Amino acid sequence: MRIGDLAARTGVSTRSLRYYEEQGLLDSSRSPGGHRHYGEEAVDRIAYLQRLYAAGLSSQTIVSLLPCLHSPSTATSDGAFDRLLEERDKLITHISGLTRTLESLNELIAANRAHRPASVTDPDPGQPDETEQDPAHLSR
């Protein structure tokens, strides 16, 4: 598929796709006219990259982790594997902090809700609103 098709299917700009390729995060082949062509697997690759970016990883960090993605075996360098563990630990710490913040906000909402008169604009007190959801939904 061409770059515009990949952009449309993934919701990522063509500029970002070119950047991913420049950084070594995405591969394409070239037509005789120089147009980029991507395989079907590029759609999943973009989704994966977007999740890593959303988790706070930089392009440089993602590039350093690619050996673990391409060949998850004993051939993977110790440095890449150690970086993978380090990034996982950072995410665990970040998620723990977010969970504590969510719990604090839920307590604050509950305390304030208990002291507010019921009104038409208040969510149903028997139903959790979006801020009171289980944080496990963040990993889906």
Q: Which of 121 and 105 is assigned the larger pLDDT?
A: 105
Q: Would the pTM count as exceeding 0.85?
A: no
Q: Which of 125 and 79 is assigned the larger pLDDT?
A: 79
At residue 65, the pLDDT reads 83
At residue 119, the pLDDT reads 63
What radius of gyration do the chain's Cα atoms show?
21
Residue 51 has pLDDT above 70, yes or no: yes
Domains of the chain, with CATH numbers?
1-54 (1.10.1660.10), 60-140 (no CATH)
At residue 3, the pLDDT reads 95
Give per-residue pLDDT as tens, 7-47. Answer: 999 999 999 999 999 999 999 999 999 899 999 999 999 99
Beta bridge partners of 135: none
9 CB burial (10 A radius; 0-12, 13-18, 19+):
middle
| pLDDT-derived band at 103, boundaries 50, 70, 90 | very high
Distance (Å, whole) CA 81 – CA 68: 7
Residue 122 has pLDDT above 60, yes or no: no
- How many alpha carbons lie under 13 Å from residue 17 in its C-beta half-sphere? 24
Across the chain, mean pLDDT equals: 83
Alpha-carbon dihedral sign for residues 91, 83, 40, 14: positive
3-state helix, strand, coil in the chain (%, to 5): 65, 5, 35
In 14-89 the beta strands, taken as DSSP E runs, fall at: 29-30, 36-37
